[in-house]
Chains A and B, each alone.
Chain A
Amino acid sequence: DGGITQSPKYLFRKEGQNVTLSCEQNLNHDAMYWYRQDPGQGLRLIYYSQIVNDFQKGDIAEGYSVSREKKESFPLTVTSAQKNPTAFYLCATTRFGYGFYEKLFFGSGTQLSVL
């Protein structure tokens, strides 16, 4: 979607290194989400934020951290504790954040690989 920008498109991580994936939105949506996708698999929820300065763990939060200091931005840091970070990472938003009843808008994704 044009309103959600993920960068970079490709990212490489060295052993023991933390890397940060950017997600910016201009849709004025309250909620933002990070998903991880492994080859041939569905999307798994890492973290989500329903409002600024608040976020919740998803199903696979270990080895990841996030912040939500601004409504427009929800960066994801892949820490050295994440031993198998190679995956396709997708950021998504919803207009409102409560109730999990809304349409997800997705960015174009970041492919992270380990050197």
Chain B
Amino acid sequence: DAKTTQPPSMDCAEGRAANLPCNHSTISGNEYVYWYRQIHSQGPQYIIHGLKNNETNEMASLIITEDRKSSTLILPHATLRDTAVYYCIVGYIFGTGTRLKVLA
């Protein structure tokens, strides 16, 4: 079974920040949280990962709670091209992800 739970869908207005939550309450101390996104019928694309500290790269920011039981992926200025399914994973088990729709 997946070690993570995510809301099935979210909408976000274009240009606004998209905040995607993920719960991973059973995460072990040395396990990373990884985020990927998948556009229909393509292989998932890596976004960002983290262990304890918050992380930022050119695509997104990752906020991990102090107890590491949850995290939030932030897309700071969502565009229509960010419409995709977003997966938060621990280990190599994928859940059903969050379907993000960016609205014009």
Binding site for B on A (CB under 8 A): 1, 4, 33, 35, 40-45, 48, 59, 88, 90, 92, 99-101, 103-109, 111
Contact = CB atoms under 8 A, between A and B. Distances in A.
B95 A42 contact: yes
B42 A108 contact: yes
User: Which 7 A-B residue pairings sit nearest by Cβ, starting from the closest?
Assistant: A106-B43, A43-B94, A42-B94, A42-B96, A100-B91, A42-B95, A106-B44
B27 to A, nearest CB: 12
Interface secondary structure of B, over-half rule: loop
Interface in B10-49: 30-32, 34, 36, 41-46, 49
A24 B2 CA distance: 27
Interface residues of B, number: 21
Contacts of B30: 99, 101
12 contacts: A33-B92, A42-B95, A43-B87, A45-B93, A48-B92, A101-B32, A103-B34, A103-B46, A104-B44, A106-B43, A106-B44, A111-B41
